[in-house]
Amino acid sequence: MRPLRCAPAALLWLALLAGSTASAAPARAAYALIIANNTGTEPKQAPLRYADDDGARYYELFSSRTKETLFLSVLDADTQALHPGLAARTRPPTRAALKEALRQLNARMAEDKARGDSPVLYFVFTGHGKRGPAGEGAVSLLDGPFTRTDLYSQVIAPSTAAFVHLIVDACDSYFFVNSRGALPVAPAQVQAVKGLLATRELARYPNVGAVLSTTREQESHEWSAIRSGVFSHQVLSALSGAADVNADGRVEYSELSAFVAAANQGVEDVRGRLEVSIQPPALDRAAALVDLGDEARLGFLLLPAGLEGRLWVEDARGLRVAELHKERERSVVLGLPPSQGYFLRGAGREASFRFARAGAVVDGGVLSWRDNALAARGAMEDALRDRLFSVPFGPRFYNGYMASLGQTPVAPEQQPDLSP
């Protein structure tokens, strides 16, 4: 009797496998180009402390999820000590190195496209940015500025990617991607200049989405407690899976936007509050920034329903790699590099865990918690400690946020099958 009883189940599994295989085409092939530069091109721009650290964290996040990740940065001594071996894989963040990296990635993506795959490019910049006298934004490379014109002419227009995700954590980053305001030219030249500028607008490239740290001329904030820029820390947390509000494994632009809004909601001091610009690709506004269901060299931490409050994951180096304020009823999965031990920390308590190998899942609901004296000591220097992530993020916040924007939310949270 047993084989007969199991036969329908086996058929169902096979049907499910066949269905998922059929729906998987075309395959998503992801690539990342990360540029991190602590120094500015102008003397009055003081060197940043953690732009290279942010770049290193983006590298760790994307190198586990992509076919190839290139990293242009000169890591400082502390960062090299924290990320042994990474410096050997970096190239200097110069215009020539950037051009060569783009050529290399475009060639690979063209091959993917020829095979029928769907290549995706992540273009990440962390460092100094500035809006020039003509209103054009630029970011600082080691050997000079890289302007909005350069971005469109060298990165976006020639890209062979099906989708490009721009992530920029820099001052005035909005103007690095968008133009706004009066044109500093004579009226007779306005039409000609407008025509030129139109080729440098995101609207011309519906396959490009942008995640930008500031909407106005505002300095990005670095926080020494987490050795990171605040915006990058929030984006990295979101992309690790913390922003996946409906537990479908995909982090969409609207989820990232709501997650960042929730993370900053409690910051009362306007000087400490981030303003961001997050624009999904017009071609597919539901395009996923990351999909936890994709094959990846990651371990996965399940934070099941019942676990609640402000939680963060620190690795063995003491780096805070993901942070969130979890609503109790939500189930969350965080994708983390599997190579090292971690601590899941909350208010005054911590639990250690480790992934046995890539692909392994750890159930955060069964970890052994112990009191954490370090967290209780509380030597953090600013209000960011208490205020960031002070608002719970989940379906309640997300739905309210989307309603306030008048935008279409993602599908409701995945529910158990309640059919008989």
Partner 1 sequence: MSLLSFALALSLAQAPCRGGERWVLLPFQPVALSTAEARQVEDAVRRAAEGTSGVCLEPRADTVAKVRAQGGRLPGCVDAACRGAQAKALGAQRLVRGVALGVGGGRSVALTLVDREGLESHTLVELSGEGLPPGQEEARAREAFQELWKTRLPAGAVKRPGGVWPTVLLAAGGVALAAGVGFGLAARNTEAVLSQGNAGCTGEGEAFRSCFTGRLREGQRQARTANVLMGTGALLGAGGAVFFVWELP
Q: Footprint of partner 1 on this chain (CB under 8 A)?
A: 5-6, 9-10, 12-14, 16-17, 20, 244, 247-250, 292-296, 298, 300, 302, 304-308, 328-329, 331, 333, 335, 357-363, 365-366, 414-420
Distance CA 180, CA 275 (A): 16
If the CB atoms of residues 60 and 222 are measured against partner 1, the closer one turns out to be 60
Least gap, CB of 420 to partner 1 (angstroms): 4
Q: How far is CA 79 from CA 37, 65, 82, 285, 398, in A?
A: 12, 22, 5, 36, 35
146 close to 156: Cβ distance less than 8 angstroms: no
Distance CA 79, CA 100 (A): 25
If the CB atoms of residues 268 and 363 are measured against partner 1, the closer one turns out to be 363
Least gap, CB of 253 to partner 1 (angstroms): 18
Other CB atoms within 10 A of residue 296 CB: 21
Least gap, CB of 411 to partner 1 (angstroms): 11
| DSSP H or E segment with residue 111 | helix 95-114
Distance CA 289, CA 165 (A): 7
Least gap, CB of 303 to partner 1 (angstroms): 10
Quick one: tokens of 312?
């963060």
Least gap, CB of 337 to partner 1 (angstroms): 12
If the CB atoms of residues 183 and 367 are measured against partner 1, the closer one turns out to be 367
If the CB atoms of residues 101 and 301 are measured against partner 1, the closer one turns out to be 301
If the CB atoms of residues 13 and 204 are measured against partner 1, the closer one turns out to be 13
Least gap, CB of 302 to partner 1 (angstroms): 6
If the CB atoms of residues 16 and 134 are measured against partner 1, the closer one turns out to be 16
299 close to 333: Cβ distance less than 8 angstroms: no
Least gap, CB of 351 to partner 1 (angstroms): 14
Q: At what angle do helices 395-405 and 253-265 cross, to 10 degrees?
A: 100
If the CB atoms of residues 366 and 383 are measured against partner 1, the closer one turns out to be 366
If the CB atoms of residues 276 and 292 are measured against partner 1, the closer one turns out to be 292
Cβ neighbours for 301, distance < 8 A, ≥ 6 positions apart = 313, 333, 334, 336, 342, 344, 353, 361, 362, 364
169 close to 220: Cβ distance less than 8 angstroms: yes
Least gap, CB of 296 to partner 1 (angstroms): 5
Which string of b and e fits 157-169 if b means at least 16 CB within 10 Å?
A: eebbbbbbbbbbb
394 close to 331: Cβ distance less than 8 angstroms: no
